[in-house]
A and B are shown apart, each in its own frame.
Chain A
Amino acid sequence: MVSGGTPKVELRGVKKCFGNKVVLDGLNLTIGRGESLVVIGGSGTGKSVMIKCVLGILRPDAGQIFVDGKEITHLRGRARDEILRQFGMLFQGAALFDSLTVWENVAFGLIQGRGVARKKARDIAMEKLGKVGLGPEVAMLSPSELSGGMQKRVGLARAIAANPEIIFFDEPTTGLDPIMADVINDLIVATVKDVGATALSITHDMVSSRKISDRIAMLYQGKIIWTGPTAEIDHSDNPYVEQFIHGRAEGPIKMQVKA
């Protein structure tokens, strides 16, 4: 499904270690423009670390990361901010700022990061909240007054507030009931299409990944061991993928108890 031209995001041989533990071991991955890629993998396989390397929150020990064909691996300061402006991210726990109200959370990147006037940012925030199915009545609430699913929605509204070109989803459905998970999946599909963004999600929820992805990649022991269109995931002929998507305890993947 990779459309022609330079990929939107590319990781080449990215390595990251914490002490003696190798988390990413020469990871290669490309995400085409406008594509929705889901990376699946067990807990502790380095999915979050991968996203944080792309965002620049963590610094890879080796390898290169490209956005629009431009290397961003070692960018800092203003140049990094410039790149980050294209990104939106939905965190696993929503990571809403609890000292601010819901609408201030959604408008945060606009007001602080882009210098949009408060009133205008508020209007945009209201519109984005509407897109995730939240009315103006929640705008003045504090995030702690919301349920987990509602917080995820606000997090999604915040991620899309500045019309990002790339959106990252970290375990978007973890900790939600199946119905709310499906609501969030629908919202992800709709909003990604709506802003025309490229999406990179990480999850271990197979229902979610089938629904929101164009293509799926599987991360195991710091490398991508399989990648293919979503429809082919059931015929991967890869014993690791087979074991993972069917959730079998027996198979080539041995659970590491210690992180």
Chain B
Amino acid sequence: MNIFASIGRVILNLFEQTGRLTLFTTDAVTGVVRPPIYWALIGQQLMRIGFYSLPVVGLTAFFTGGVLALQIYNGASRYGAETFVPVVVLVGITRELGPVIAGLMVAGRVAAAIAAEIGTMRVTEQIDALTTLSTNPIKYLVVPRIVAAVISMPILVAIADSIGVFGGYVASTQALGFNGSIYLNNTMNGLTYDDVSSGLIKAAVFGFIIALMGCYNGFHSKGGAQGVGSATTNAVVSASILILAANYILTSVIFSHG
């Protein structure tokens, strides 16, 4: 009897969570188009989510580009295909590694911060206080973060792409003895619109996932410091998993024609 009860509880809980997340997402998305829109808060979040993520995203992109060049050289040189290093670095960074690495780094930095901040506001009744002051907490707290993340992520990824390719250039010219101008020339010849734009579309989706997971987990945190702690963990874990899953889906959709 107990086994059935606990199976039932798990399933009910799953439905409840799914329903709650769906309602929350709907509220957040419709909030984007319905006034009031808090422009000042969007600006503030653009700084926090976008601008302050630049150093960490830039550094990881640089080293990722560098290590990518080293490994591709390692493999390609077995077949005498070293000349392909620049273009493979370019494709790898712009299509996959740029958006995914930036997404995961921003998930760790921003989803955690959002969940901790909103979670603390929840347990200290600040969210209830917003309601009593005729302010919709979804519009005031969630919408600006989602809008800012969806705008910031493509810009961050565009920068990460450039820095990643530069990292590959540095590694290739300094450690692998490539000629700098030939490397750049190969990179420019290999550059296509689709490679970059697909990465930027992914970035926007990842931005949405990051802000949504941070806000959702923060909003539904309960029970003091421990609750906020687990909300923060859940935000980062769920955002990271959803980013990787969404990346697979987006890749298979965007590149399905070839």
Contacts and interface: CB of A to CB of B under 8 A. Distances in A.
The listed residue with most A CB atoms (<10 A of its CB), out of B36, B124, B128, B133, is B133
A91 B125 CA distance: 7
A52 B128 contact: yes
Contact of A87 (B121, B126, B132, B135): B132
A75 interface: no
Nearest to A164: B132
A116 B131 CA distance: 18
Interface string B67-79: 0000000000000
Interface string B31-55: 0000010000000000000000000
Interface string A163-188: 00000100000000000000000000
Interface of B: 36, 121, 124-126, 128-129, 131-136, 140
25 contacts: A55-B131, A57-B128, A81-B136, A84-B131, A87-B132, A89-B129, A89-B132, A91-B128, A93-B124, A93-B125, A95-B124, A95-B125, A95-B126, A95-B128, A95-B129, A96-B129, A109-B132, A109-B134, A112-B133, A112-B135, A113-B133, A113-B134, A113-B135, A158-B133, A168-B132
Contacts of B126: 95-98
Contacts of A112: 36, 133-135, 140
Contacts of A95: 124-126, 128-129
A108 B128 contact: no
A91 B130 CA distance: 11
Nearest to B135: A112
Contacts of B135: 108-109, 112-113
The listed residue with most A CB atoms (<10 A of its CB), out of B36, B126, B134, is B134
B133 A57 contact: no
Contacts of B133: 108-109, 112-113, 158
Contacts of B136: 81
A211 interface: no
A92 interface: yes
Contact of B129 (A56, A85, A97): A97
Contacts of B125: 91-93, 95
Nearest to B38: A112
Nearest to B136: A81
A56 B131 contact: yes
B132 A85 contact: no
A85 B134 CA distance: 6
The listed residue with most B CB atoms (<10 A of its CB), out of A55, A56, A108, A114, is A108
B20 to A, nearest CB: 14
B36 to A, nearest CB: 8
A56 B121 CA distance: 18
Nearest to B44: A99
